[in-house]
Chain A
Amino acid sequence: MRRALVPLFLVAAPVFAQESLDEIDKAASAKEVPKEEKKKAIASVNGYLDNRFQYSWIAPGTTPIPTNDAPSLQDILEANVQLHVDLGSKAFAYGDVSLLFQGGWLFYANDGMGGRQSVDDHDVPSLRPFVAINELYASWSPKPWLNLLAGKKRIVWGSGFAFNPTDLVNPPKDPTDPNFQRSGAWLARVELPFEKFTFTGLFSPSVLYQENGLPYQLFQYPDYTPSGQSYRDSDQHYLVAGRFYALVANADLNLIYMFTNKYNDAFANKSRFGISFSRYFLTDYELHVEALLQTGSARSFPNHACLTAAFSPACADPIHMAFAPSRVDSGSFYPRVIVGTRTLFRDESSLSIEYYYQSDGYSDQDFQDFVRGLVLLQKIPGAGNTLTGTNNTGALPNRFTFDPLRRHYLIASYSKPRIKDDFTATLVLIMGLRDLSAMINPSVAWNALEWLTLTLNGFIPVRGIPVGQVDGGNGRLYNEYSLLPWDWRILFEARAFY
């Protein structure tokens, strides 16, 4: 494999450096290339080198989540290469791979009195270097109306801008930078595109084991007991989906059916439906709606009885029983819907506003139990780390991960480009409407050169508003963004394209 890649890079002259269409077509299809040269694959390469350096003011006293593994200083260096290889005129292979090297320093933990104490630098699994195979697939179109694809690819059908509730397949994107997340899922796809509509069939196996971003067990566990589990899971973990897309009355309409069996969540033999809509109205206003329609919820809910009588015989195993997907077999209807609009003003600034509703979000009681559970778990040595998650998933690390706990959210983004030609100022607001806690993300991007972008980001949680707060049982009041382990964060990013 390695040997095969080397010649590809060597012949990876930019296909489109030519000055006429004939030269492009000749390079792309190799129709007029001498026979002996036809065997050479025609490839093009591009990518970027990115460095993110950030400082977070770690605040162990304000969060019930342990901060031992959250570094104050962090640096992430990413080398990305995107390789496109034409395999004749009807097929191509594509790879989008990033190598990530990370470092984290200056750790702090709760000193027991609401303050913080230094923790020695130590090994954190999520900060180890890894390979992010964002996409790696082969695509073949034997007929104009038929496309076959296999490999890893990010496929998004929903119209949501900052968040896609119908997306059960890909790693979640970052609402503060929806352009960033590029990692997809391993899948096989059959697509029949026609002029006004498209049919798609999709099969995706779960990645069950991976190491440093490289998967080595898909679909079904091996015949031995998996590491870290006390039983052998003999289930097949997969998703099968069908989609119908149509351009109707100048609107994009998607109807989606998904069947999953223990595919990245607790649902077994589960059918779910998705719908999305997007259209421009009044010339300049894009309106979109995206909904996931399902019964039951795979979300883990706090067990009220267990948490109020912690360490009782009913809670022999609080780590596993305090939070469990207790509504996974429920027949109740739990839709998730995002509706939003985007518009561009005369000065080229743009505004995006989205409202997100998830009916299986926590109620006030659920959220209070959840927080109290976190507080309790902190008292159990080693338990806290099961909540924060320490293993990377092979996806690019988000600057901010949107993992909504409650039911109602507002996501707004305002962007003003071309300030002094090369600067873009952006303000993103993510607000929980039940408790009015929020994350504010101001940023300034400078396109210093055609191939270089420098960005300065701030992340400021708003969490002191006395609305909808819950009592953590430890003398403190919490709302959703109180759970973040830091008071503020500043991030500088430099990205050089090639």
Chain B
Amino acid sequence: MRSRVILNSAVFFVGLAAIAQSALASDPTPDQLLAEYDHTMSPKTFDALIVMVAHRQDDTTRTYKFRAMKGPEDKIRLWFFEPASAKGQEMLRVGENMWVYMPNLKRALRIASRDSFQGGDFNNADALRVNYVADYTPKYGDSGDPALYLLELTAKTKDAAYDKIKLWMHKGDLMPVKAEYYAASGKMIRSMQYADVKDFHGHKRPSHLVMRNELAVKRFSEMNTLDMKLNVDVPPQKFVLDDMGR
């Protein structure tokens, strides 16, 4: 019995070494790398608690706290807890469709992916539509740093939040490091820094994102993930328009 365990362990480690060797020998394809990004930043299903701090032009801040729950097939639901003026607001994305539930209006309104997310520097797609594999075509670019990959992403669809994205990822752990977001004119409109990689119940990802508005230098927004669980089982009715405000 004991010898079988040792044998199995040996086979496992030899296999692992072979995979590592193979990985070192060849870079992942751009599509594989982009899929890795999606898995890291927006796993298939998750339940997360997030705080967004919007730093404004006058050096003051606005803080938003919300719960984000992602179900299969790219459905996401958000519940806002703070500040008091936003409490009760909810957001829902089902495929190409996004709604915001306004407690004062007692109903949900359709919103566009390019609308600002709670007036901060993220837009709705940044928070609700992290599916780069579906939205962008990747190719490698010159990262300027041997430790980093650079993916140049071009929008496949007009519904994508940005026309082009440059995305740098670390070659070692494949974690995203920074990104630049461009309009159709080629002008950089936003940039993002990914920092503070944390292990959330076995899932590693940057917990601290900083989105800078390149058109208003003093403005930026931070997104801090306080907690995140994967493989959550959420009833599909949580991703139904009529469930909002319930």
A-side interface residues toward B, CB under 8 Å?
14, 16, 18-22, 24, 46, 48, 82, 135, 139, 141, 144-145, 147, 153-156, 161, 178-180, 182, 184, 191, 193-195, 198, 200, 245, 247, 250, 252, 278-280, 282-284, 286, 344, 348, 417-418, 420-422, 447, 450-451, 453, 497-498
Contact = CB atoms under 8 A, between A and B. Distances in A.
Given A24-B49, A180-B104, A245-B241, A144 B235 contact: yes
Interface in B206-246: 226-229, 235-237, 239-243, 246
A141 B82 CA distance: 26
A45 B228 CA distance: 26
Contacts of A16: 65, 67, 81-82
A21 B104 contact: no
25 contacts: A16-B67, A16-B81, A18-B49, A19-B226, A21-B229, A22-B227, A46-B88, A135-B106, A144-B235, A155-B106, A156-B107, A193-B242, A195-B237, A198-B242, A245-B241, A250-B96, A344-B112, A420-B57, A447-B85, A450-B62, A451-B83, A451-B84, A451-B85, A497-B83, A498-B84
Contacts of B235: 144
B178 interface: no
B9 interface: no
Contacts of A145: 237
Interface in B84-129: 84-85, 87-88, 94-97, 102-107, 109-110, 112-116, 119
Contacts of B57: 420-421
A154 B106 contact: yes
Contacts of A191: 242
B106 A193 contact: no
B104 A453 contact: no
A284 B103 CA distance: 24
Interface of B: 47-49, 56-58, 60, 62-63, 65, 67, 81-85, 87-88, 94-97, 102-107, 109-110, 112-116, 119, 158-159, 226-229, 235-237, 239-243, 246
10 nearest CB pairs, A to B? A16-B81, A497-B84, A154-B106, A144-B235, A20-B227, A497-B85, A421-B56, A144-B237, A156-B107, A179-B104
A13 to B, nearest CB: 13
A448 to B, nearest CB: 11
Given A144-B235, A283-B112, A421-B57, A179 B105 contact: yes
Contacts of B240: 193-195, 198
Contacts of B60: 421
Contacts of A14: 81
B114 A195 contact: no
A179 B95 CA distance: 26
Contacts of A24: 49, 67
B88 A278 contact: no
A443 B49 CA distance: 36
A46 B84 contact: yes
B62, B83, B109, B228: residue with the most chain A Cβ atoms closer than 10 Å: B109
A498 B85 CA distance: 8
Contact of A450 (B83, B94, B110, B112): B83
Nearest to A47: B84
Contacts of B81: 14, 16
Contact of B112 (A141, A184, A284, A498): A284
A77 to B, nearest CB: 18
A182 B85 contact: no
A20 B96 CA distance: 30
A282 B240 CA distance: 24
A278 to B, nearest CB: 6
Given A252-B110, A284-B114, A421-B56, A139 B246 contact: yes
Nearest to A245: B242
A451 B82 CA distance: 10
A250 B95 contact: yes
A20 B49 contact: yes
A447 B159 CA distance: 31
Contacts of B106: 135, 153-156, 182, 184
A417 B118 CA distance: 11
Contacts of A198: 240-242
Contacts of B243: 193
Nearest to A25: B47
Contacts of A282: 158
Contacts of B227: 19-22
Given A46-B88, A179-B105, A344-B112, A195 B119 contact: no
Nearest to A285: B112
A256 to B, nearest CB: 14
Given A179-B104, A250-B97, A418 B85 contact: no
A255 to B, nearest CB: 14
Contacts of A193: 237, 240, 242-243
B63, B81, B94, B102: residue with the most chain A Cβ atoms closer than 10 Å: B81
Contacts of A48: 84
B95, B96, B242: residue with the most chain A Cβ atoms closer than 10 Å: B242
Contacts of A18: 49
A82 B88 contact: yes
Contacts of A286: 110, 112
A179 B102 contact: yes
Contacts of A420: 57-58
B88 A144 contact: no
Given A24-B67, A421-B60, 19 more contacts: A20-B49, A21-B47, A145-B237, A154-B107, A178-B105, A195-B239, A195-B240, A245-B242, A250-B96, A252-B97, A252-B241, A280-B112, A283-B113, A284-B112, A344-B112, A344-B115, A450-B63, A451-B84, A497-B85
Contacts of A19: 49, 226-227
Contact of A147 (B65, B88, B236, B246): B246
A20 B226 contact: yes
A200 B207 CA distance: 41
Nearest to A147: B246
Contacts of A447: 85
Contacts of A451: 83-85
Contacts of B102: 179
B20 to A, nearest CB: 33
A179 B103 CA distance: 9
Given A182-B106, A421-B58, A247 B49 contact: no
A135, A195, A247, A279: residue with the most chain B Cβ atoms closer than 10 Å: A195
Contacts of B105: 178-179, 182
A48 B119 CA distance: 21
